[in-house]
Structure 1
Amino acid sequence: MMELKQILLCSLMWLCCVSLGAQTTKEEMFSTIEKTGGVYWAYPLDFAPQTKAPKGYKPFYVSHYGRHGSRYLIADRDYKWLIDLFEEAHREGALSELGEDTYRRLLKVWEEAEGHGGDLTPLGVRQHRGIAERMYASFPEAFKGSPAISARSTVVLRCAMSMVAFGDRLKELNPALRISYEASPKYMDYLNYHTDESNRFTSSQDGPWAEEYRKFEEAHTQPDRLIASLFQDRNFILKRVNPKETMWGLYWVASDMQNAETEVSFYDIFEPQELFDLWQCINYRFYVGNANHADGKGIVVANAKSLLQNILDSADEAIRKGGIAATLRFGHDGNVIPLVALMQIEDCNVAVSNPSEVYKVWSDFKIVPMAANVQIVFFRNEKGNADDILVKILHNENEVHIPVQTDMFPFYKWSDVESYYRNLLK
C-alpha cells in the first residue's frame, strides 16, 4: 500500500510539473519581452538548486549535449540590407524622427556585428564557461585526478568555439584533465542528423503544414503601423520598402541584441502585441521543424535516435572502463529540440497541430535558449554493488522528469533509464 502511494505521489508530481512547465501566456511574454526572441533568448540563470544525492552516492560521469552559445545573426546580410535601406531613406529625407534614430542605432550595432555573421558572441563564450564551471562545482568527484573527457562538436565554427570555451574553463579548474577536442564530419551522423523523410515534412515550400502556416504568418504579420512610424515619405515606401520583410528584419535584429555587447535596444519601435504575434510564427516554425508536430507522426523527433544511441553507448563505455569524467557534445537548436522530445523530458514531446495552440503548450525559448543543454549525471555508491548506479537528468541545468518510475526524484536507477530508452530506440 505504501509503495502504491509513492507511485501515485510521484505520478502526481510529474503531471504537476508538466502542466506548469507547459503553460506560456501573453502576460509572461509581455513581462519579459526578450522572450519573444524565441531561440534568441539568452541563456537564463534562474535554475533551482541541485538536489543532494542519496547518502553514499557520488557523481563519477556526466553525459552532455549543448547548443552553441549566444551568436550574432546568421549572416552579415541580415544586418546590411536593413542598413542599406535606411541609409537610402536617410539620404532622401524619407525617414521620420524615429526612423532616423533607428538608423543611428543600426549603424552602432553594425560596428560590432560586421564580419561576425553566425559567430559566437562574447556572451556565448561566457555562457559555456559558466555552464562548465557550475558542472565542475556541482559534481567535483567526477573531475578529480586526471580523467579523460571527450569533447566533440559539429563542423560549424560557433559550435567548436563553444566547445573550446567549455573545455578551457574545465582545464583552468583542473589542469590535469585530459580533454580531446574534435570537430569533424565523422560525428555529424549523430551530432546533427536529419533524415530525408523528415526534411520533406519540414520543408517550408511543400511540407504538408506549409500552406496553413503561410496563412497563419500572413495574419500575424501586420507591419503598417511600424512602417508608417519609421518612414514619412509614402512614395519611398511604395517604391522601396517591402513592409513585411522590413518588419521581420527589424524583429530579428531586436531579438538578437540581448546576445550582443552593444547596449542598444529596438523594442521601443514595436508594440508588444506585434512582437508576440511574430514570435508565435517563429515558435510554430521551430515546433514543426524540430519537435513532435502531430502530423509528423514522430519522424522529426526520430532524428535524435542516433544521438540518444551515442549517449547510451558512451555511458556504457564510461561505466565499463572508468576514468572518463564526461562526454561533451556541441551542436544546434535543431538537435537539442528533438533530443529532449525523444527523451520525453516533461512537456518537450507534446503533440499538437493547430498553429494558434502551439505556444500554449510548447515554447522555443523554454526548450532551447542560446547555450541550451541536456546533462545526464551518473552517481555510484562506492561501498555497494558496482552496478548500483543512479542518474539524474538536467535540462538547462534544472532537474527534470522523464516517464520512468522512481521513488527518489530527481534520481533514477540507470538500469531502468537505459532499458526504457533502448526499448524506445527499437
Structure 2
Amino acid sequence: MKRTLLLLATLLLILPAAFAQQYDVLDQVKADWRKAAGMEGPHRFDAPAPTPAPKGYTPFYISHYGRHGSRYAWNSKTYSLIHEVLAAAHDEGGLTELGEEFYTNFEDFYPTPLINTGDLVPLGWEQHKRIAAWVYDTFPKVFKGSRHVDAIVSTSARSIVSMNSFCLSLKEKNPKLSFYESSTHTGLSVVTPTSAPAPIRKKYKEDDISRIESVAHFNERFIDYDGILGRIFTDSKYPSKFEGGRTNFLDQLYSLIGGYHNYEERPLFDSILTPDQYANLWEAFNYYSWHIDLSARYQNIPLLQDIIDKAETAFNDPKRAADLRFGHDYVFEAFMCLINANGCGTVPEKASEVKYWFQSYNVPMAATVLFVFYRNKKGDILFKLMLNEAEATLPQLQPVTGPYYRWSDFTDWAARMMAQHPLLL
C-alpha cells in the first residue's frame, strides 16, 4: 500500500510537469555564456512582461527570497590552486601555448580577487538595486503609502550588503516605507536552514535516493578530462599530483571561467574552453547541484514554513507590504526543487535527463523568487510565483488562470508534503 501511494505521489509530481521540460537546454547554454556559467553567472534581466492579474484582484503583499548579488569566487582555492598548478607547470615546461597564455593572464589577474574572496562586487549591488526597483514599479500598490517591510539575512557580508541595496532602492522609490533589518545566527534557521547553529538546526525525513547515479560516477562517465586539460597542459594528467586531483582543478577552473565576468570586463579566459567543452562542464556541475538538492530540498522546510506563517500574518496586517529574505544559492536551488517550481523537483529515470528539468542557470547571482499575493473584494486570495522576474509554474497545482494559483491549494499541498517528510531531530 505504501509503495502504491509513493508511486501515485511521484506520478502527481512528474506528469503535470511534463510541459516544463526544456529539450534545447544545451543549445541555450552554448549560445549564452551567462547560462553556461550556471550559478556563477550574473543576473540576466531577460524576463518577459508579466501577465495582468485576474479581473477584480489586486496585489497587496509580497514574500521574497533572494540570493546575494555578484561576488568574487566564494572559495579562495579558485585562485590559489589554479595559480599553484599553472605556476608549477610553467616552471616545468608543461604548458601548451594556450596554457602559457592562460598562465600569463592569470598571474596578472588573480591577486586582487584572492584578497577579496567571497566579497560582493559592484555589479552585485547594482543587481539588487535594479531588482527592487523592478518589483516596486511592477507592483506599486503593494508599496503605496506608509507601509512596512521586514528583511532577514544570513550573517555573510555579501548577503547583508545585498539586502541593504534592495531596501535602499525601495526606500528611494517611496520614502514613506519603514524597514526592519535583521542578521542573527538564530535567523539562519530560516534563511539558511542547513547552516543554522547545531542546537537549532532541524532534520527532516528524506527520500530514498539509492537508485540515483552518484556524482563521481556521472563525472567519470561524462566529463572529457583529457580533452579539456589537454588544451592547457602537455600532459592532461598533470593536475593529478595536486590537492583534489583533476576533478578539483576542473571545479576551480569552471568557477573561475564562469564567474570572472562578474567583476572583470576583459576576455582574459574566454578561449580556454570550446563551447562544447563549456557545455560539457555545465551539464556535469548542473547534475552535481541537482544531486545535492535531492537531500537538501526537504531540509529547507523551515524556509517554506516561514513564508507560509508570515503570509498568513500579513493577510490581517494592512501595514505589512513585504517580507524579504537574503541568502545563498544552495538554499535557493533546494527550495525551488522543494516547491517544484517549473517542475525542477522532478526526479527523472536517467541521469542524462536531469538537465531537461533542472537548470542551474536559473539560480544566477541575485536570483530572486517572489510570492505575489492578490485579493479581491470578497477576500479570496490568489498568488503567483515569480522566478527571476518571470512568472513560474507549480505543476502540482491546478491554476485558477494562467500563472495564478489559490493560496489555499498551495498550503494544502505543503501540508501533505510536510506530513510525508516529518521532523526527525
Q: Greater shift after overlay, 282-291 or 16-25?
A: 16-25
Retained in 2: the 8 A contact 1:125–1:162? Answer: yes
Shift of 1:323: 0.2
User: Within 2, Cα distance between the matches of 1:131 and 1:17?
Assistant: 28
Q: 1:146 to 1:263 in 2, by over 3 A?
A: farther
Q: 1:334 to 1:243 in 2, by over 3 A?
A: closer
Retained in 1: the 8 A contact 2:153–2:159? Answer: yes
User: Within 1, Cα distance between the matches of 2:417 and 2:241?
Assistant: 56
Partner of residue 223, structure 2? 221
Retained in 2: the 8 A contact 1:64–1:327? Answer: yes
User: Within 1, Cα distance between the matches of 2:401 and 2:212?
Assistant: 44
Question: Cα deviation per residue 1:348-380 (whole Å; 9 max; x = unaligned)?
Answer: 2101353322123322213x2222221111223
Q: 1:229 to 1:390 in 2, by over 3 A?
A: closer
Q: 1:24 to 1:116 in 2, by over 3 A?
A: farther
Match among 384, 388, 392 for residue 400 of structure 1: 392
SS at match of 1:257: helix
Partner of residue 282, structure 1? 285
Match among 328, 335, 348 for residue 339 of structure 1: 335
Shift of 1:231: 3.8
Shift of 1:140: 0.7
Q: What amino acid maps onto 1:397 in structure 2?
A: E
SS at match of 1:393: strand
Partner of residue 71, structure 1? 71
User: Within 2, Cα distance between the matches of 1:234 and 1:337?
Assistant: 33
Partner of residue 31, structure 1? 31
Retained in 1: the 8 A contact 2:79–2:110? Answer: yes
Retained in 2: the 8 A contact 1:213–1:355? Answer: no
Q: TM-score, normalised by structure 2?
A: 0.83
User: Within 1, Cα distance between the matches of 2:375 and 2:322?
Assistant: 15
Q: Greater shift after overlay, 349-358 or 185-194?
A: 349-358
1:312 aligns with 2:308: yes
Aligned residues: 398
1:259 aligns with 2:262: yes
Retained in 1: the 8 A contact 2:70–2:123? Answer: yes
Retained in 1: the 8 A contact 2:143–2:177? Answer: yes
Q: What amino acid maps onto 2:368 in structure 1?
A: N
Shift of 1:201: 8.8
Unaligned runs of 5+ in 1: 1-13, 292-298
User: Within 1, Cα distance between the matches of 2:274 and 2:60?
Assistant: 50
Q: 1:50 to 1:421 in 2, by over 3 A?
A: same
Shift of 1:86: 2.4
Retained in 2: the 8 A contact 1:201–1:208? Answer: no
Q: 1:69 to 1:236 in 2, by over 3 A?
A: closer
Shift of 1:188: 1.6
Shift of 1:304: 2.2
SS at match of 1:374: strand
Q: What amino acid maps onto 1:395 in structure 2?
A: L
Q: Percent identity?
A: 31
Q: TM-score, normalised by structure 1?
A: 0.83
User: Within 1, Cα distance between the matches of 2:408 and 2:237?
Assistant: 69
Shift of 1:51: 1.5
Unaligned runs of 5+ in 2: 1-13, 195-200, 420-425
Shift of 1:221: 3.2
Shift of 1:257: 1.9
Q: 1:108 to 1:16 in 2, by over 3 A?
A: farther
